[in-house]
Amino acid sequence: FDGLFFDVLVPLPSPISLEAWECQMFVHGVLPALRTVTWEGESTERRMRTVHNACGTSIGTAPELGGNDPYPFGKTMWDPTWTTDETYSPPDYEDNSVETTFDAHFNETCFYRFGFHANEQNAYNRVYWSRCLDDMDAVKTWNTSINTEADRKWKVCNLQGNDLTQYPAYGVDGWLHFGMCSYLLGQNDWTVLSVSRERRPDFDITKDYATPAGERQEMDASNYFLKRDYYGDDDGARGGIVVANGDFEVTQYPNVGIASPHDYYPDVDVLDENGDPHYCGQAITINADKGRMYFNQNNYRYISVITDPLQGDEVSVSSYNVQGTVKKNRAGLSYPSTVQVKIDNGSWENCSVNGSDGSFSYSWSGYSTGQHTIYSRVYVDSNDYEPAKLGRVFTVIQ
């Protein structure tokens, strides 16, 4: 066997009356011994692994929905850096270590709580959603100070729920898609996504995301509307942006709670999961408990975009200064020196790119009234330039 799965070792009320410190005492008693078990003839690199499932409990939060931390249950069981304090002190509690904490935390209902009854929908809580994202950050942080790779910790984010007509599992509005988008916001080298109950989400769609282009970012003051950029690669992955709206407070469906929509403004022209275009600077409304994946139009290493005028704008001046910027689609690149711009069926005109921020501009005058289309492309040489993509359509009026 590969290891032991503990399910569910959590504090329990009367008549069992299992306290948090008793759970920790048990774990501290058995885990060091289990770590010595190896396959016959194998080194400790091939030792037994231990996985703990505390269904619906994140690191540092209590099992109750919302979690007000009446005790630091998650930290006492999983955080190898946790130490006792005046409130949670010996002899009941002990300091944790790498050896006395589980190898992996398996959250059976990650990002939202599963409705256990057949016709029950998932329960949503913005604080719990946020803490599940923080859990992925936590294992990454712990592992920076754990020198032996075999001792490093893992986080398993499991999705499950009922496939209901009013809230289906599948489709871009389904809870599987929301769960995948949530996972992509926080995933790293020490996280795993799994799915229960024979659900089969379309994981292939994520192949267009090669590597994260940084950490997740807050898009407004709510702290629960987040995005993360992904790079493309030379093997065909286009890269793009994943967005998720966790700004909800629903204790248990069909009860109605707070569910706040938010607007996302892409910084480049992108395609959604269905291949439909969305233009830079134009609002896309993302409802609560929904996620969206947006993809670059190709996998070229740079993305040029016209930022002014926006799609559908009207221009009423005699000359116009077209504005744009370049976004990097690979790690470690400098900005290119040249972007080319053309209007309608005209010739490509060179524009210099600002090497510090990727911006460029093009002065245009003498144009006719009516509809026009601007195109842009990064240009390195005649054999190396950005492939054709969507143009920016606008109208000149008197």
Does residue 39 contact residue 48 with C-beta atoms inside 8 Å? no
How much is the average pLDDT of 235-256?
Answer: 82
Does residue 181 contact residue 199 with C-beta atoms inside 8 Å? no
- Name the more confident of 332 and 14: 332
- Name the more confident of 68 and 358: 358
How much is the average pLDDT of 227-242?
Answer: 98
Confidence band (pLDDT; 50, 70, 90) for 41?
low
pLDDT above 90: residue 298: yes
Compute the distance between CA of residue 149 and CA of residue 311 in angstroms, rounded to an integer: 50
Q: What is the pLDDT of residue 117?
A: 67
pLDDT tens string 117-131: 667 778 888 888 998
Q: What is the pLDDT of residue 62?
A: 47
Strand partners, 107: 157
- Name the more confident of 17 and 268: 268
How much is the average pLDDT of 177-188?
Answer: 97
Q: In what order do the strands lie in the sheet with 154-159?
A: 3-7, 49-53, 104-107, 154-159, 191-195
How much is the average pLDDT of 96-101?
Answer: 96
User: Of 90-94, 232-236, 283-287, which gets the smallest average pLDDT?
Assistant: 90-94
Q: CA–CA distance from 233 to each of 239, 383, 390 (Å)?
A: 7, 18, 21
Paired sense of beta strands 370-381 and 392-396, if any: antiparallel
Q: What is the pLDDT of residue 11?
A: 76
Contacts of 15 by beta carbon, 8 Å cutoff, 6+ apart = none
Q: What is the pLDDT of residue 72?
A: 65
Q: What is the pLDDT of residue 93?
A: 92
Contacts of 345 by beta carbon, 8 Å cutoff, 6+ apart = none
Confidence band (pLDDT; 50, 70, 90) for 252?
low
Q: What is the pLDDT of residue 88?
A: 83
Compute the distance between CA of residue 398 and CA of residue 386 in angstroms, rounded to an integer: 34
Q: What is the pLDDT of residue 330?
A: 98
Does residue 374 contact residue 394 with C-beta atoms inside 8 Å? yes
Q: What is the pLDDT of residue 350?
A: 98
Residue 300 CB neighbour total at 10 angstroms: 21
How much is the average pLDDT of 261-279?
Answer: 97
Token pair for residue 231?
């790079």
Q: The dihedral of CA 215, 221, 225, 230: what is its sign?
A: negative
pLDDT above 50: residue 63: no
**For the chain, what is the mean pLDDT?**
89
Please name the residue that has the structure tokens 């689609």.
329
Half-sphere exposure of 334 (CA within 13 A, CB side): 8
Q: What is the 3-state secondary structure (H, E, C) of 306-348?
A: EEECCCCCEECCCEEEEEEEEEECCCCCCCCCEEEEEECCCCC
Q: In what order do the strands lie in the sheet with 124-125?
A: 124-125, 248-250, 258-259
User: Of 178-187, 229-238, 253-262, which gets the smallest average pLDDT?
Assistant: 253-262
Confidence band (pLDDT; 50, 70, 90) for 165?
confident
Per residue in 13-47, is it b (16+ CB within 10 Å) or e — as a string? eeeeeeebbebbbebbeebeeebeeeeeeeeeeeb
